[in-house]
Amino acid sequence: MVIDRKETFLKSSGKIADPESQSPGVSRPELLAPGGSLEKCVVAFLYGADAVYAGTRRYTLRAQAGNLGWEELAAARHQARLWKRKLYVTVNSFARQEEIRSLPAFLEYLQEIEVDGIILSDPGVLRLAARWAPQVPIHLSTQANTTNAESVRFWADRGVKRINLARELCFEEIRDIRSWVSTELEIFVHGAMCISYSGRCLLSAALNGRSANSGTCTQPCRWSYRLVEEKRPGEYFPIWEDSGGSYIFNSRDLCLLGELGLLLPLGIDAFKVEGRMKGMLYLATVVRAYRAVMDRWARGCALGPAEAEGLEDLGRVSHRPYTRGFLFPSKGPEDAKSAPEVTYLQTHALAGIVRPSPHGYWEEPVGPGDPDSSHIIYLEVRNRLTPGTTLEFLFPDGSIRAHRLESFEDCRGARRDVAHAGTWIRFPVPFPTFPLQVVRMELNS
């Protein structure tokens, strides 16, 4: 019911994020988004992703994400078909012997539910996938650190359909590799970066026994460190970056939205967004920003306006200082790969998620057919709300509609003065909304 209602509204209003609306003959890369849960998969599709990647708790490098159970993977695959999109499943951990023994049944299941691809990095897992899921395309993770055309050919000879190139490559290297191979290529364009080569880090395992290569990284590179000299116990010296040295931890977040004008003509097959452990606000904001720029390029329009709006919006989600990573030579401090700051930058927070009525129906507008008439909506609250808060409703086409929350009720109709995270409230808004719409609010406003 949620999906049908939302699709009907979006199509009729012209606000649906439709990645198929492009000029004929234009090669358009796939926008690949993280799906840390079943609901996040649907939100990614709603805001314009062509495909999502998701995993279960085992066999994935994001074991601490919400992840999906086996039945939820089947449900996600069903949603992908409804949207005419794709679902890829991550099996990209470096498997230990016990995991290898249990993998065949899981791989068989992925073929049974007809997922669109398996993302892996372990050669042993590749051998098993070829045997137990031979009909499912294989994608190679960035963890395999593919840095040259010969490596691409090596993996292609072993049945790999798509390869996510190593994040260490620069723009010229990616362009050169693309000119030498016909295999599908994929690159990361947004999200957190690891300080280690292609993410193969032992720091978490060494400090607290939780291995990044098994999906349980605790991100010790984000911790605050001090230097101590062994003969001066108790004297701690801060570690920072200055003109004479580089701070090796606390990597910045990758953001290539402003470089899509250079990347889109390369013929890369997929642009990937990191973030299976990120929240709904991050997912909706990032996906719709990249969708807007990619669609303008496909239609032959100037990218500037969409880039400017998108970059402004990306600054509103929780993030570390942005960098262009290794793709372009450093031109100054803004292109540094690491930052001395420990805290994240954040100006807005997730206010809530629009939900269908708990009574099993959607409240009709006061004036049917009038797009500016009041609707009674239900909001699942994610951060504390009080009367006077300005809510911003995010639409898939990149637009935002603001609404000042004058008053609200609980689901039983009782007036409330405060709404806490985890509760539901209802109130009228003067424009149409839809289930799973992401609503944000400015912090300290």
Please indicate whether residue 85 or residue 332 has the higher confidence score (pLDDT): 85
pLDDT of residue 362: 45
Report the C-alpha gap between 38 and 276 in whole angstroms: 11
Give the three-class secondary structure for 272.
strand
Which superfamily, per CATH, for 348-442?
Translation factors (2.40.30.10)
CA 285 to chain centre: 9
pLDDT at 236 over 70: no
Q: How far apart are CA 167 and CA 197, in angstroms?
A: 8
What's the pLDDT tens digit per position in 57-89? 777 655 454 578 999 999 999 999 999 999 999
Torsion of CA 158, 164, 167, 170, to 10 degrees: 90
Residue 332 scores a pLDDT above 60: no
First to last CA, the chain: 35
Place of tokens 């993280």: 34
Which residues lie closer than 8 Å to 112 by C-beta, 6 or more apart? none
CB of 391 closer than 8 Å to CB of 377:
no
- Spatial contact of 71 and 112, defined as CB atoms under 8 Å apart: no
Q: Is the pLDDT of residue 233 over 60?
A: yes
Closest CA to 210 of 61, 99, 420, 345: 61
> In angstroms, how far is CA 118 from the centroid of its own chain?
18
Rounded Cα–Cα distance for residues 292 and 128 (Å): 39
pLDDT band at residue 99 under the 50/70/90 scheme: confident
Indicate the range of 140-144, 246-250, 335-339, 393-397 predicted with least confidence: 246-250
Dihedral of the CA atoms 408, 409, 413, 415 (nearest 10)? -90
Tell me the two tokens of residue 245: 């040295």
Select the more confidently predicted residue: 19 or 113.
113
237: confidence class by pLDDT, cuts 50, 70, 90: low
Distances (CA, A) of 95 to 59, 162, 203: 7, 21, 18
Q: Are 241 and 340 in contact (CB under 8 A)?
A: yes
d(CA 290, CA 295): 8
Residue 356 scores a pLDDT above 70: yes
CA distances from 393 to 186, 436, 437 (A): 32, 11, 7
Query: Mean pLDDT across the stretch 204-210?
Result: 56
The predicted pLDDT at position 218 comes to 61
pLDDT band at 230 (very low <50, low <70, confident <90, very high): confident
Structure tokens at 412: 């039983």
Task: Check residue 24 and give its pLDDT.
Answer: 46
Residue with tokens 């000119």: 179
pLDDT tens-place string over residues 247-288: 445 678 899 999 999 999 999 999 999 988 899 999 999 999
The DSSP code sequence of 30-73 is EEEEE-SSHHHHHHHHHTT-SEEEE--SSSSS-TTS----HHHH
Amino acid identity of 237?
A: F
Q: Higher pLDDT residue, 424 or 3?
A: 424
Query: What is the mean pLDDT of the segment spanning 106-118?
Result: 97
- pLDDT for res 199: 57
Cα four-point dihedral sign 177, 180, 181, 182: positive
Tell me where in the chain the CATH 2.40.30.10 domain(s) lie. Answer: 348-442
Q: What is the mean pLDDT of residues 127-144?
A: 96
Q: Reply yes or no on whether the pLDDT at 420 is more than 50.
A: yes
As annotated, the residues of the chain forming the CATH 3.20.20.70 domain(s) are 13-335
CATH number of 13-335: 3.20.20.70
CB contact at 8 A, 355 and 424: yes
Neighbours of 80 (CB within 10 A): 25
